Amino acid sequence: MIVYAQTSSKTELLQILELQQKNLPIKLTDDEKQREGFVTVEHDYETLYNMHKVHPHIIAKDNETVVGYALSMSTAFKDVIPVLIPMFVEIEKMKIEQNFIVMGQVCVDKEYRGKGIFRGLYDKMKEAFSGKYSAIITEIDTENIRSINAHKAIGFKTICEYSSNNQLWKVVAMEI
């Protein structure tokens, strides 16, 4: 049975990093990237832990194993992860008046895809942050068709597109 929770231990954070490593583009074939999607950012433990201290991450667990995650990212980290800085610049240009949280990365273990875990992670994220925030914002590499379709299916809407580091990005938002 899958249980959704917020991170509460070093073990969970380390399992997030293990799952992330399996889904980085350099670990996948072009066919796997196209069919299964991928994650772009490679976090280190310290950054992941510091993000967790501000807002614990959302995880899906099967027994004691993290099988999916959605990273909770305060705007306080806007200058910490270089590949994400351009997204924050674009968001600032839009002068968004809503109080929002950034979903820093979402990933579901390959063996658990297609079972509603993606939606479950976002449902838990909405539950955890409703009342504190009115929207969740994230960005998606436009080559990651699986992710774009999954986000669209649960209610995310594109709020802008921009180019950075030879990549085209969609910034998407969903009201909580």
Q: Mean pLDDT check: name the lowest of 28-42, 100-114, 125-139, 145-159.
A: 28-42
The secondary structure of residue 133, as a DSSP letter, is: B
| Residue 34: per-residue pLDDT | 85
State the CATH number of the domain containing residue 140.
3.40.630.30
Letter string b/e over residues 120-151, b meaning 16 or more CB atoms within 10 A of that residue's CB? bbbebbbebbeeebebbbbbbbeebebbbebb
The pLDDT of residue 95 is above 90: no
- Residue 55 gets the label, from left (phi > 0), alpha (psi -120 to 50) or beta, of beta
Of the chain, the percentage scoring pLDDT greater than 70 comes to 100
Q: Which residue has better confidence, 35 or 141?
A: 141
The pLDDT of residue 3 is above 90: yes
Query: Which ranges of 23-139 would DSSP assign to H, the alpha helix?
Result: 30-36, 45-54, 85-94, 117-129
| Residue 126: per-residue pLDDT | 96
The pLDDT of residue 82 is above 90: no
Domain that holds residue 149: 2-175
**CB hemisphere CA count around 13 (13 angstroms):** 17
Tokens 């074939």 sit on residue:
29
| Residue 149: per-residue pLDDT | 94
Residue 159 CB neighbours (<10 A): 16
| Residue 89: per-residue pLDDT | 92
Query: Which ranges of the chain would DSSP assign to H, the alpha helix?
Result: 10-22, 30-36, 45-54, 85-94, 117-129, 145-153
Structural domains counted in the chain: 1
